[in-house]
A and B are shown apart, each in its own frame.
Chain A
Amino acid sequence: MIDPVTARVSLARDDAIALVRQMLRIRRFEEACAELYGAGKIRGFLHLYIGEEAVAVGALGVLGPEEAVVATYREHGHALVRGLAARTIMAEMYGKATGCCHGHGGSMHLFDAASRFYGGNAIVGGGLPLAVGLALADRMQRRERVTACFFGDGAVAEGVFHESMNLAALWKLPVLFCCENNGYAMGTSLERSESQTDLCAKAESYRIPAQHVDGMDVVAVRQATETAATAVRSGQGPRFLEFRTYRFRAHSMFDPDLYRPKAEVEEWKKHGPLHTFTDRLKAQGLFTEADFERLEAEVGAEIAAAVAFAEASECEPVSDLLKDVTADAAPALAP
């Protein structure tokens, strides 16, 4: 899975460290989430992104602040990289009023208007037509910007995936489809659910240029995204990237992970995006163990502060239960 592209790329030290930092933030943040879930502080469904960090970090780094991001229920990493403060995400998972959505959404529904982060969509495939529409709005209002839409391999089985591919291609809309293919739709492997397992072929059947990318290699992800986003911005229509990646943890905290061999998980862990990248940087003399320890300390402090913030935050008052159902002032309990 080593992309020869990456070996050729030489990075500036600051740039390299920034990539490590972002991947480490996601990794440690989610490890903390798992622990807090065990402690009963976080409830509901919790889907961890651990193992897939290179995709969000590599891809989102390419986007401008005015560009839109649509993600799935496995979106803590995307939210962190997009700029949502760790503390507002953590408070959301605690169900507190200081959470990004006042505790209305939880882990699966992180949103942020300021960074045009449109969720947090927990209907598989549900974000795709949303992204098509956001791109349509940009097109009709003559704005040259990308809407990046993240979804998993499971989404390609949904009808709405195909409807969205067709609409985006038919109308040449500026959507960047980012498929995070981790091999499993919950417990069902791609081979068991798709007659055509080459996901790029599906996009290409709608005449959308598509590319396989090593999703465990942050630089390969970034480079592919950069090229694709540039094409999308310049009005060439949608692009499709299939990032081949793997989740190291179970689908959710309820998943006993019975459907895949342990050896498969261990094999993929050898290609873990964080250590393969830092090993490479060390070999190139761009990164030291001391750098890593410094980042660990900084990230650790950020997450500790986020947890403390969430712990100390107030809950949304029950009197505000019906607020924000519609624009009207809260209606009487019987609407």
Chain B
Amino acid sequence: MSERLSYREALRQAHREALARDPRVFLMGEDVGRYGGSYAVSLGLLEEFGPERIRDAPLSELGFVGAGVGAALGGLRPIIEIMTVNFSLLALDQIVNTAAALRHMSGGQFHVPLVVRMATGAGRQLAAQHSHSLEGWYAHVPGLRVLAPATVSDARGMLWPALENPDPVVIFEHAQLYNLEEAAPASPVAIDICRAAIRRAGRDVTLIAYGGLMPRTLSAAERLAQEGIEAEVIDLRVLRPLDEATLIESVRRTHRAVIVDEGWRSGSLSAEVSARIMEQAFFDLDAPVQRVCTAEVPIPYAKHLEDAALPQAETIMAAVRSLFGDRPA
């Protein structure tokens, strides 16, 4: 049995279930309570669970993320919401220097079961301080697990395993996905937060994407099929640690890879994925790995400029076609 559910509702439902299931779980962040969440994920939860567990915090990202780390150490299971990845930079110290490091630094004595959720990505004309994709920075850091749900089912099913993870988990919700609607099971299906997912099977090329660019990557794959190119589409969904096995296995079958990443190309997650393919599947490749990334500019406000900066289905398709040279697939 399945119902249509939006990504936002799926997240809200996941919160509701986690809050009901475990009294240690609470949500803290800016305007998560009375306002209902800046992206309305937590709308209604205050009335249901009260102000102690749906805790509005002042605009002090470093303070309340650090308090989340402390609360996790003190036996709770905090979910910290940060409005956007851009604002999370104010809290980076506590995430990187404390949450991610504490288990190792303390010789395994302490660990930080903390979930930090934040919106990410461009496409809503919010310009350079609300639109960036810095997931790759977080994916750089040992001690963190980094997730990017791109489907309604993943939005519903990743929160609980993230809360069960004994170490800090950062979850990126692309702002363009909140209104996405899909058929989703009536009860949540726990997602394996170690594995990438193959969203479309194909034999000619592996398209690797995640998060907000999944819908247009899948649409590019469908259009390429009309041209006779069957693309396999992998949703990374776990940005750290990378599920290399799934990636490499696919590339070994298709012999071609295109990585789609909303981050900037230089020093990006796409660079990391590309390097791993080179290291492990170089001799299986029929063509150089291609990348489709965001142009290296702070995201501009004007719609035509923002569109031009971001990977589009057409640019993804062009990158795929370039792998096949003159030969019709």
Interface positions of A (Cβ within 8 A of B): 68, 99-105, 109, 111-113, 118-121, 123, 126, 128-138, 140-141, 147, 159-160, 163-164, 166-167, 170, 323-327, 331, 334-335
Contacts and interface: CB of A to CB of B under 8 A. Distances in A.
Nearest to B68: A133
**Taking each of B98, B107, B240, which has the highest tally of chain A beta carbons within 10 Å of its own beta carbon?**
B107
A44 to B, nearest CB: 13
Contacts of A334: 244, 276
B73 interface: yes
A137 B76 contact: yes
Contacts of A147: 70
Contact of A331 (B62, B69, B78, B241): B241
B246 interface: no
Contacts of A130: 66-67, 69-70, 73, 98
B90 to A, nearest CB: 8
Nearest to B78: A133
Contacts of B35: none
Contacts of B276: 334
The 10 A-B pairs of least Cβ separation, nearest first, read A133-B70, A129-B66, A137-B74, A163-B63, A101-B107, A163-B60, A111-B106, A133-B67, A102-B107, A324-B108
27 contacts: A101-B105, A105-B106, A111-B106, A129-B64, A129-B67, A129-B70, A130-B69, A131-B70, A133-B66, A133-B67, A133-B68, A133-B72, A134-B74, A137-B70, A137-B74, A140-B71, A159-B62, A163-B58, A166-B63, A167-B58, A324-B103, A325-B143, A326-B103, A326-B143, A327-B166, A334-B244, A335-B142
B57 interface: yes
Contacts of A111: 105-107, 109-110
Given A126-B97, A129-B65, A167-B63, 8 more contacts: A68-B74, A129-B64, A136-B74, A138-B74, A140-B26, A160-B66, A323-B108, A335-B142
Contacts of A331: 241
Contact of B71 (A120, A123, A133): A133
A327 B104 CA distance: 10
Nearest to A335: B241
A100 B106 CA distance: 8
A119 B142 CA distance: 20
